[in-house]
Amino acid sequence: MARYDYDLFTIGAGSGGVRASRVASSLGARVAVAEDTYLGGTCVNAGCIPKKLFVYASHYREDFEDAAAYGWSIGGPRRFDWKSLLENKDNEIARLNRVYARLLDEAGVERIEGRATLLDAHTVAVGERRHTAANILVATGSKPWLPPVPGIEHAITSDHTFHLERFPDRVVVVGGGYIAVEFAGIFHGMGAAVTQLYRGPLFLRGFDDDVRRALAAGMRKKGIDLRFEKNATAIERSGSGLRVRVDDGSALEADQVLYATGRVPKTASLGLEKAGVELDGSGAVMVDEYSRSSVPNIYAVGDCTDRIMLTPMAIAEGVAFARTVFAGTPTRPDYEGVPTAIFSQPQVGSVGLTEAEARERCGEIDVYRSEFRPMKHTLTGRDETAMMKLVVERASGRVLGCHMVGPDAAEITQGLAIALKCGATKAQFDATIGIHPTAAEEFVTMRERIPDPGSP
């Protein structure tokens, strides 16, 4: 008779939890997964998927405007129907929820609806029921963080944007991370007047400085009001709208105020401390390189560990965990060379080291940068510029970083990430024949390096 009900009990059915559960089950483990909201986690329900659908929707206004340059005449007034977008988005999310349920069922994973909490290192409570497991995996994700600003109860987070009853005409976005810049572009593209406040001198801290500057310039060209070194001090009701007080003494009128000021691990009230699991100051589960917590049979993957908050990394961590525990093959997730994209407008793609990181780690480097108008806009006349950049180790010629701001940056960067993973050199980039005419060919035709800082 088995000592425990399950070999693995997973708390959270997001990307990491579902993948870990499926792989563990395929390796012969008896697995259950508990979820108290919707299957698929943040990515499917309030993140990657609905956000990208909104990005697509927000592009059509410019596409309609540009069509005339290519001979297309679109008659009649154009009207954006917010409720139709929400309905179609909801239908797609519901379909994906069903897909996740089917994947778990077909893998032989038992699905349990309800909030799970730990009673001890081997016991989980879901409602009135108790479940025991040899191993427990915490995969509860993260949630938006709101600062203690007076009137913050009037603000919304990215979670709320997917369910607004009416589309706002005026939006103030507070924050400087990728969620903030993405939603500034989304609301602007759909027709709202957008102001973005960020307390620092330039948003997207941690990205390459040329990327940060190029995106700021591109967003301003589109008409987004970027205000750096500014922060909201209070939010007040003002008639049927809101008034945002700014620390420079000014005030902004808005219909919605979106706070995108970071995310924190969703671990509160799970009973982790009771089970002896160590958390850091933000509530993240502290884990070793194999995703094991301070309690040997309790593991954690994904956003609740606050390592790299990206869906593909949560999946990779989940697979590595399952192989380590149930296949007897210790596997560590690889955090080097993780590509990332920002679905801002213009779009950003980045992989590898920034110029500043490369100078600090490698000393002498070569930098190549190209700025140009995308071919599409040679006819439209739209004032839009793409920026591409390569960071190269001078001694070895190895390409250390690739960065892009412009159309299809995410798609292009995914291919470049493979090259960097293989250790490609600048000479190999140069020897590659470009596909003409494309923007991507610019990465294999850049020849003139940027002068070193301080050189004549």
Closest listed residue to residue 406, CA positions, set 429, 438, 444, 430: 438
Average pLDDT estimate for 28-47: 97
Average pLDDT of the chain is 97
Closest listed residue to residue 306, CA positions, set 273, 283, 278, 339: 283
Give the per-residue pLDDT at 439: 97
- How far is 72 from 63, CA to CA, in rounded Å? 11
pLDDT over 50 (residue 407): yes
pLDDT over 80 (residue 359): yes
AA identity, residue 264: V
How far, rounded to the nearest angstrom, does the alpha carbon of residue 151 sit from its chain's CA centroid? 27
Domains of the chain plus CATH, in order, are 6-143+264-326 (3.50.50.60), 152-261 (3.50.50.60), 340-450 (3.30.390.30)
138-197: pLDDT as tens digits: 999 999 999 999 999 999 999 999 999 999 999 999 999 999 999 999 999 999 999 999
Give the per-residue pLDDT at 75: 80
Query: Of all helices (H) and strands (E), which one includes residue 418?
Result: helix 409-421
Average pLDDT estimate for 325-344: 98
Give the per-residue pLDDT at 454: 81
42-77: pLDDT as tens digits: 999 999 999 999 999 999 999 999 999 999 998 877
- How far is 172 from 441, CA to CA, in rounded Å? 38
Give the per-residue pLDDT at 455: 79
197-219: pLDDT as tens digits: 999 999 999 999 999 999 999 99
pLDDT over 50 (residue 258): yes
Q: Kindly state the percentage of the chain with pLDDT values over 70.
A: 100
Paired sense of beta strands 170-174 and 256-259, if any: parallel
Quick one: tokens of 255?
A: 């219909």
276-309: pLDDT as tens digits: 999 999 999 999 999 999 999 999 999 999 999 9
Give the per-residue pLDDT at 77: 79
**Contact (CB, 8 A) for 34 and 21:** no
**Angle, CA of 389, 395 and 401, to the nearest 5°:** 25
How far, rounded to the nearest angstrom, does the alpha carbon of residue 48 sit from its chain's CA centroid? 7
Give the per-residue pLDDT at 217: 98
- 3-state helix/strand/coil string of 295-319: CCCEEECHHHHCCCCCHHHHHHHHH
Give the per-residue pLDDT at 261: 97
Q: How does DSSP assign 126-147, residue by residue?
A: ETTEEEEEEEEEE---EEE---
pTM: 0.96
Q: Which residue reads 């997917």 in tokens?
A: 162
Average pLDDT estimate for 363-373: 96
Residue 372 has what DSSP assignment? E
Give the per-residue pLDDT at 76: 78
Residue 133 vs residue 74, higher pLDDT: 133
Average pLDDT estimate for 352-367: 97
Give the per-residue pLDDT at 1: 46
Angle between the N-to-C axes of helices 15-26 and 82-106, in degrees from 0 to 180, rounded to the nearest 10: 20
Residue 36 has what DSSP assignment? S
Q: Which ranges constitute the DSSP H helices of 72-171?
A: 82-106, 158-161
| Confidence band, pLDDT 50/70/90 cuts, at residue 90 | very high
Q: How does DSSP assign 31-60, residue by residue?
A: EEEEESS-TBHHHHHHSHHHHHHHHHHHHH
For the annotated catalytic residues, the residue numbers are 436
